[in-house]
Structure 1
Amino acid sequence: MARAGVVVGGVGLAMVAATGVSNAYTYDGSDPSSTGCASGATTVESATVRNSQGSVGTIELRYSVACHTAWARMTLNQTAGACGNASAGYDCAHGFVTRNNDGRSYSCTIYQGQTQCYTPMVYDKGMTSFAEGVKDTVWGLADARTAAY
């Protein structure tokens, strides 16, 4: 597979292109906390994750102006019960962030005993991204998607 790399001015503008896949920019797949990008970040879009019985949580699209990155934070209204295996009968809750221009996406999972998770980041200077949250429940799938930012 042929790869081409372009680095302009160091951090923030590095890009690696691979034939047939989405672009990989600086910070793609990185942790918002360990990179420092979470410091000063704001919630730019949010949506209520709901099904026919009502709200089960909130999905947020977080954004760092300093790093030009976005990520999703999923928060449940209650601590997650058993999930993710055949005996539980339900999939665990997931948050997703997706960059619109190339579809690059990362996810996080809320496991039993937890209420929150956040995804790795996508770089999105000059682009847009959205967040989506999904939770499997006895009353059906609860889901929501934020507007793009």
Structure 2
Amino acid sequence: MRTTKRALARAGVVAGGLGLAMIAATGGAQAYTYDGSDPSSTGCSSGATTVESATVKNSNATFGTIELRYSLACHTAWARLTLNYTQGACGNASAGYACANAEVIRNNDGRTYSCTIYQGQSQCYTPMVYDKGMTSFAQGAVDTALGTVITRTAAY
């Protein structure tokens, strides 16, 4: 069977279209090694460092710290939110407040993972994003009587 340039070009258009359809179906975010994995259970948290951090505060109070953690061994990043207090009642209408939460966001494609600090807890960390050759940032949110305080770290 003889293949022509035109047939190859058509095949390339079809394959390219299928690729775009797959990107659209997955929300545009590429799944890499370790995406969505737990830093502790994979061993990536061993030897990890805080590469960026920011204080979660408003003009009246300081609530905690949001950190962007990074594992050089795994080339992964994740967010860790630590409150200066134990989370009170949250997450339902009777509590009146949303629970504090953190997110890690990979800049290149928007892949995002989150965690929530529930009543009685003071810390959470997100699943990881792979980010070798890419950048990510961490963001923390705390609901207060004066509104929601959202703080993000610089990207790394």
**Which of 88, 97, 106 lines up with 1:99 in the alignment?**
106
Which of structures 1 and 2 has the bigger CA Rg?
2
* Deviation per residue, 1:7-38 (Å, 9 max, x gap): xxxxxxxxxx9321210001000000000000
Give secondary structure in 2 for the equivalent of 1:80.
Answer: coil
Superposed counterparts of 1:1-149, under 5 Å: 18-20=22-24, 21=27, 22-149=29-156
Q: Over aligned residue pairs, what C-alpha RMSD do you find?
A: 1.8
Given that residues 95 and 118 in structure 1 are in contact (C-alpha distance below 8 angstroms), is that contact kept between their aligned partners in structure 2? yes
Corresponding pairs, count: 137
Name the TM-score, length of structure 1 as normaliser. Answer: 0.88
CA displacement 1:57-84 (0-9 Å, x = unmatched)? 1000000000000000000000000000
* Other structure's SS at 1:19 match: helix
Structure 1 runs (4+) deviating above 6 angstroms are none
- In structure 2, C-alpha distance between the alignment counterparts of 1:41 and 1:29, rounded to whole Å: 17
Alpha-carbon distance in 2 for matches of 1:118, 1:19: 28
Distance in 2, matches of 1:109 and 1:83, equals 11
Structure 1 match to 2:8: none
Structure 2 runs not aligned, ≥5 long: 1-17
Distance, in Å, in 2 between the alignment partners of 1:19 and 1:103 is: 13
Q: Per-residue deviation at 1:139?
A: 2.3
SS at match of 1:134: strand
TM-score (norm 2): 0.84
CA distance in 2, matches of 1:62, 1:51: 23
Give the Cα–Cα distance (whole angstroms) in 2 for the partners of residues 78 and 18 of structure 1: 44
Greater helix fraction, Structure 1 or Structure 2: 2
- In 1, the alpha carbon distance for the partners of 2:138 and 2:148 equals 17
Identical pairs, percent: 75
Residue 140 of structure 1: CA displacement? 1.9
